Amino acid sequence: LRGVTMQELLSDEDAALEALEALPNCDELRAAAAAEAERVERLDSLVQGLKTCTASADAADATPLAQLLSLAADLGVSDQPPARPPPRPKKPKGPRAKPR
């Protein structure tokens, strides 16, 4: 089963039922792909909105910026770098060597 691709397995008329049942669920894959495509579209709209957004003191321009910030928060996008993992514990040192 390792050397056989999904296309080969689906096109084989004599494929074993166990091998076919081991394939991933197509409906779940399609749903996941559709969700990722929607996320990519929303990210692209965020990028385009940020490109066209200008920094000004006008209150009229604040609404689109607030919408972009809300969209960024919904998508989990931030300008903060990812949190650093905690440092590893130091190795305990062994006994000191005695002078010769």
For residue 100, what pLDDT is reported?
74
CA–CA distance, 43 with 38 (Å, rounded to integer): 9
pLDDT in tens, 72-100: 999 999 888 888 999 999 988 888 888 87
pLDDT in tens, 4-34: 777 887 788 888 888 877 888 888 889 999 9
The letter for the amino acid at 26 is: C
- Cβ neighbourhood burial of 15 (10 Å; 0-12, 13-18, 19+): middle
- Are 77 and 43 in contact by the 8 Å Cβ rule? The answer is yes
**pLDDT(61) > 70:** no
- For residue 58, name the pLDDT band (cuts at 50, 70, 90): low
* Radius of gyration in angstroms for the set of CA atoms belonging to the chain, rounded to a whole number: 27
